[in-house]
A = this chain, B = another copy of it.
């Protein structure tokens, strides 16, 4: 059982932008700091922009930053947004054809377990992930000002 690499990268990009604060970040820079593919990140940035989590600014000095304050980015909502396939087993999918679906209790049990998973995630925001911001900044090679206010909603 695992989240898609796409969701994993979405979370990492948002954490990077959260550490970076108001400054714009580029795909090239994020790809280097996490040692992951630029091509994957381009898709991630496109989707995060489309979903309203980040703002992308084009041009030579362009880049991206968070569109929302970290406190406003709920992890349960985010993972539901980015995990395209929440059909944990076949019968959850619209094209499932398991023969016992009409009387199957397993579907209810797995649905309850999935709700519990998201219920935990929903208790956290991106802000909670930025607790050790100074350490994250060091690991990601992001220089930070001494005092940084949370990014405000634009």
Q: How far is the CB of A89 from chain B (nearest CB, A)?
A: 5
Q: How far is the CB of A35 from chain B (nearest CB, A)?
A: 6
- 11 sample A-B contacts, Cβ–Cβ < 8 Å, listed by A number: A1-B85, A7-B89, A8-B90, A11-B106, A99-B139, A100-B136, A104-B136, A109-B120, A110-B121, A113-B121, A116-B120
Q: Which of B8, B89, B131 contacts A8 (CB 8 A)?
A: B89
The verdict on A52 contacting chain B, using a C-beta distance below 8 Å, is: no
The verdict on A146 contacting chain B, using a C-beta distance below 8 Å, is: no
Chain B hits for A116, CB < 8 A: 113, 116-117, 119-120
- A residues near B (Cβ < 8 Å) are 1-5, 7-8, 11-12, 15, 33-35, 75, 83, 85-90, 97-100, 102-106, 109-110, 112-114, 116-121, 124, 128-129, 131-132, 135-136, 139-140
Q: Which of B99, B102, B117, B132 contacts A113 (CB 8 A)?
A: B117
The copy count of this chain in the complex is: 2
Top 9 A-B pairs ranked by shortest CB distance? Answer: A103-B135, A113-B120, A116-B116, A117-B117, A103-B132, A8-B89, A116-B120, A113-B117, A105-B129
Q: How far is the CB of A44 from chain B (nearest CB, A)?
A: 14
Chain B hits for A11, CB < 8 A: 89, 106
Name 9 extra pairs, CB < 8 A, besides A7-B89, A11-B89, A109-B120: A2-B87, A2-B89, A33-B99, A103-B139, A109-B124, A109-B129, A113-B117, A113-B118, A116-B119
